[in-house]
Chains A and B, each alone.
Chain A
Amino acid sequence: MIERHLTRLRIRHDISEEEERVIRASVSEVREYPAGQTIIRAGETLRYSTLLLDGLICRYKDLKDGQRQIAELHVPGDFADLHSYTLKRLDHNILTLTHCRVALVPHDRIKQVTTEHPHLAEVYWFSTNLDAAIHREWVLSLGRRSAISRMAALFCELQVRLGLVGLADDKGFAFGLTQNELAECLGLTSVHVNRTLKQLREQRLVTFRNGRVEIHDLAGLREVAEFDPAYLYLDRRPR
């Protein structure tokens, strides 16, 4: 059930069989949600963290006029809100972008896991640090990258992150977002996203159509994005 989570952890960390057993035992419940549902609202008191098993979810914040900024996307194997363990409420919302299956991990079990297994405490601390690194890369995109470079950077990031859990290869990945949701990730409008997708298509870099990103030239896409995967800390950590 949490195979993708374990796969993701084992890319960077040595996880023993005993630790695997403890992680598996920490799940209390599995839930399914349709696309487009805000499953956690900013401010609500939380007693569990949400681990994504299947689908895509995002963290977003919005303004009174309805404008929404997606701050990070989560792929299967990611915790959407491991930080709620210490924060106990979120300053952002969590939304399903596709049909999703999630596992709930109660905070008291996270406390037990991290107290009794200091190595797992480090592993999960690393995980929240990695989320922060991804946020910083998105700040760079939103603040400084052009529209085409911004979109290329997002596709490059997802190609790597989905690839780690077997959901992407050099040719592309399933990506069930609407143009409008893509616009909300990139700080653009839907019309501008459509124009930018056309540019990427015409440069024979990537095509996004029918819920799939087809990558025609990964090296070229990375060049347009100035993509350096170092911020994803893909190297294996010593125990």
Chain B
Amino acid sequence: MPRFHIHVHNSIGTTRDEEGQELRGLEEAEQRAVEGVRSILSEELLRGSFDLPGHVDIATPEGEILRTIRFREMVRCHLGEEEE
């Protein structure tokens, strides 16, 4: 199986995934990236705020970026007013 590295970039900097993981394909890597970012955001939210500007790069072991996904694409925020 191919190896994918999921690098995370946000306001605190870049977290490079040096180890990577063997996955069935890019689709599974995207799924892992989304689950991972949602997990990080959910922990931030428990502390009262979350850092939505950011993105992940899914890369090959050689460093080629196959896909970039922005955090904004991974969650839906409803910021409208509460209905009376």
Contact = CB atoms under 8 A, between A and B. Distances in A.
A163 B12 CA distance: 35
A189 B17 contact: no
Interface residues of A, number: 14
A78 B3 CA distance: 33
Nearest to B18: A209
A218 interface: no
Interface string B15-59: 101110100000000001101110110010000000000001000
A146 B6 CA distance: 22
B8 A191 contact: yes
A190 B58 CA distance: 13
| Interface size range on B against A | 10 to 19
Nearest to B14: A198
Contacts of B37: 191
Contact of A178 (B21, B32, B33, B39): B21
B43 A191 contact: no
Interface of A: 146-147, 178-180, 188-192, 194-195, 198, 209
B31 to A, nearest CB: 10
Interface of B: 6, 8, 15, 17-19, 21, 32-33, 35-37, 39-40, 43, 56
Given A180-B21, A194-B8, A189 B39 contact: yes
Contact of B36 (A146, A178, A189, A198): A189
A147 B40 CA distance: 9
Contacts of B6: 190-191, 194
Contacts of A146: 43
A189 B43 contact: no
18 contacts: A178-B19, A179-B17, A179-B21, A180-B21, A189-B35, A189-B36, A190-B6, A190-B32, A191-B17, A191-B33, A191-B39, A191-B40, A191-B56, A192-B40, A194-B6, A194-B8, A194-B17, A194-B36
